Every structure is written in C-alpha cells, then in structure tokens.
A and B are shown apart, each in its own frame.
Chain A
Amino acid sequence: MVAMVSKPHGGRLVRRRATGKRLEALREEAKELPKIELPYDIAVDVENIANGVFSPLEGFLVQEDYLHVLYDMRLSNDVPWTIPIVLDVDPDEIVGVKEGDDVALTYNGKPIAVMRVEEIYGWDKKEYAKMVYKTTDTRHPGVAKTLEKKELLIGGPIDLIDHIESRFEKYLLWPEETRVLFREKGWKTIVGFQTRNAPHRGHEYVQKAALTFTDGLFINPLVGWKKKGDFKDEVILAAYEALIKHYYPKDVVVLAVLRTAMRYAGPREAIHHAILRKNFGCTHFIVGRDHAGVGNFYGPYEAWDIFDEFPDLGITPLFIREAFYCKKCGGMVNAKICPHGEEHRLKISGTKIREMLKKGEKPPEYMMRPEVAEAILRFDNPFVE
C-alpha cells in the first residue's frame, strides 16, 4: 500500500480495466453480445471511466444518479458531480436488450468494453439543456449537441477490454500514473490547469502565480471535440512544449492530455474539471474567468461563485484574475495588484492573437512568447475547421 496526499473523488480510484483471464473471457463474450457503436467522444469517456478519471463513476449513470446530478449537482450518495455522464441510444439499437443483460460497446466496429445494462430509461433533452447549460438556446454548442442525442439512456458499469489508440500516446497519462509521478517528484501540492488553448502570456502568468505557492504544475489540455476556430490539439501541445522549454524551470511542470469533449457548460463544467484533476492527484485547481464558458451565456464570475456550494469538493480552487501588460508597472499584472488606469494597460486578447496567427503574423511579445508563436506558425493551418 502506498500512502498519498490527495484522495480521489468519492474516496477510491476506480479501475475497471479487465486484465488476465477475465480480459480473455470478456473479449470472447463480447463477440457474441449485442453491440452498441459509440461516437468518439463517448468511447474516450468509457476509457476515462475505466481508468479512474471519472472516479467514483464505474459506468454510465442510472436514472437515480442522473436526476440527482441534474437537479442537485450531486450523485445519489451526495458526492459532488455536475455533468451527467450518460450513454444515449436509439430504441432500435437495443432491440431485445433487457436490464441485467451485457452488451458490447464498440468503437469503429471493435469492442472496447462490456457493459452490464442496469437500467434503460427515457430523458428530457430540453430539461437537460436547461439544467446543465442554463439555456435551451441552440446557438449554445452544448445545447445543440444535446438536442441531437438519441432518445433513451442506458446506465450501468463497464469493463474496458481495449484501448483506443491516440495520436498523442506519449502525452496520455492516467490518474494512477500521475499520482505515482507526482509522488516520485516529491510534490505535495500540485495545481491543475485546464486548457483548450495555445498559451499566451496571460496563461503563463496565472500558471506561474499559482506555481509560486505550489510544488508542481499539471498542465492538462483537453483533446477531442472543439468548436470551429479553436486551436488544433497538436498545435496546443507544440505550443506548450515551446513555452515549457524556454520559460519554465526544469522539473516543476508535467504536461499530459485528457481526452474528453468540451461541454461549454460554464460553472458546472468548472466543478467537473476540478473533480477530474483531483482524480489525477491535484490539490489545487486554477479556475479562470468565465471558465468553460462560451459567448455570453454565463456571467464572468459564475464559475467562481459556484464553488461556494461545494464545501466538500476536496480540491482547492484558485481564482486568479486575468492578466494584462501594464506599461507603468513594466510587466504582467492583474487588476488586483495594479493601480494604473486603462490607458496604461495592454489587454491580451485571445481573439486578436488568433486573428494575427491566421494571417501568418507573430503577435507582439507582450501577448505571446515568440518561441510559442513560431511553434504555432510551423503548422499550415493551426485551427479547427
């Protein structure tokens, strides 16, 4: 037994990867079972469940947990959980499947997991949108995706029988691995950073502000479905490699990816992101202004306020203000520590940076490190189309 500092969510790191004889048996069984083909986003979440990223979940939510998460932001045992992890199916996909049966979950036709069907139930997609996204406006990318989903949900535990290859295998670490890694490095306090962006000077500032007080920094970009115009995953990784190489001390940073879709659920997703990083072994989590937001659907500080409702989250949120360059201060600062007026401040705008990069231009140094910009500009088209 190995003692560690931070506890996984719900008290136990879930492991549902079949191994040895059991794996052989399940692989054999899967050939004969009814099959449900999964889209990529759900398939990678199956692997996340199996490897404890979503601890304490052992599978897809059954109705009681689903409703609790929807209305109380907690599982039925009161453990905080804000984003329903559900599997949607069409009735004709599961003809003849009864509660208690096993089904094979496939990706690209290949079985990746066996699921014990505990419950098949209907759901109200609009209600889901209203509760999770706080809107039913289809201009919200999460809402649009939800309304396209299938009519039934099936819940039950899964056992993973195959791995989904990643383009980023080298960067793919699981919670049990990061937990060992952090301990081997001697870190006791680790701050997690969620991102879906190539790093500009503002990101670097908040990371370093946090890192001033913690032993280590865990940069954990989401790779997977993103909206048009976002940076491509490989671009984000190359940009971070450049930043770390040129501007971070050795041995204070770990860069690894998390394969899961952005939901753009603002405050609820901020809690979700914090829980996932707690499972990776983080003790602290940086929550940005309008974290996981999109458009004007959420207030700028809603994602901070929601943490007040979770005294039992088990990971400490760090609310760090947006950084800008102040000509008077002569450096990167934020509104809390800079007394000077707007006329002295140079704002760092992600939109502006993307526009410049799109034209093949290097943003000014106060916005983005030149080495980072160069790494991005090495790609023909750095953005999701």
Chain B
Amino acid sequence: MSEDKVTIKISKDVYEKAKQYIEKYGGFNSVEELVEFVLNEALSEEQGEAQRVYSKEEEEKVKERLRALGYI
C-alpha cells in the first residue's frame, strides 16, 4: 500500500507541457513522477547544503563568533 497522497492544483498548460516533455525525453512514467522527482531534488539540494556544512548548534556558534568580531 502506498503512502497517503494529497492533490495539488496546477495549470493544465503546465501539465500538458510536462507531459510532452516526458514523452520526448522519457525517464518518467507520469507527470506525477516528474513532480515528485523535482520536488525531492529541491529538498535534497536544500538539505544537502545544510547538512554537509554544519548543524544548527554549530551554525549558532559561527554566528556568535562573527558577531563578536563585528562582521554581523
């Protein structure tokens, strides 16, 4: 059983464009798959950056030092 889904509205024109794109270049079975893929990409980009560099606590430490030195 797949997990719960939620439906979101998108313009038909964009949907059609996405469908044509898939037909042309393949790689996805449906517009939904493509949407899921790009959203996951967006998430992993965002988190990849944050996680690779430092945790929230570490970031706070860095900020404190910058503040102490007068940079921010």
Q: At the interface with chain B, which of A70-78, A109-117, A150-158, A323-331? A: A70-78
Give 13 CB contacts A-B under 8 Å.
A68-B13, A72-B11, A72-B13, A74-B13, A76-B13, A77-B13, A77-B16, A77-B17, A78-B11, A78-B13, A78-B14, A78-B16, A78-B17
Q: Is the interface of B mostly helix, strand, loop or mixed?
A: helix
- Distance between Cα atoms of A76 and B13 in the complex (Å): 7
Per-position binary interface string of chain A over residues 59-82, scored 1 when its CB falls under 8 Å from any chain B CB and 0 otherwise: 000000000100010101110000
Per-position binary interface string of chain A over residues 196-213, scored 1 when its CB falls under 8 Å from any chain B CB and 0 otherwise: 000000000000000000
Task: Point out the residues of chain B lying under 8 angstroms from A72, CB to CB.
Answer: 11, 13
The chain A residues found within 8 Å of chain B, CB to CB, are: 68, 72, 74, 76-78
The chain B residues found within 8 Å of chain A, CB to CB, are: 11, 13-14, 16-17
Q: In the complex, what's the smallest C-beta–C-beta distance from A72 to chain B, in angstroms? A: 7
Task: Point out the residues of chain B lying under 8 angstroms from A78, CB to CB.
Answer: 11, 13-14, 16-17
| 6 closest Cβ pairs, A-B complex | A78-B13, A78-B17, A78-B14, A76-B13, A77-B13, A74-B13
Q: Smallest CB-CB separation from B18: which chain A residue?
A: A78
Q: Smallest CB-CB separation from B13: which chain A residue?
A: A78
Q: Smallest CB-CB separation from A68: which chain B residue?
A: B13
Task: Point out the residues of chain A lying under 8 angstroms from B11, CB to CB.
Answer: 72, 78
- Distance between Cα atoms of A231 and B58 in the complex (Å): 60
Task: Point out the residues of chain A lying under 8 angstroms from B14, CB to CB.
Answer: 78
Q: Smallest CB-CB separation from B14: which chain A residue?
A: A78
- Distance between Cα atoms of A74 and B11 in the complex (Å): 11
Task: Point out the residues of chain B lying under 8 angstroms from A76, CB to CB.
Answer: 13
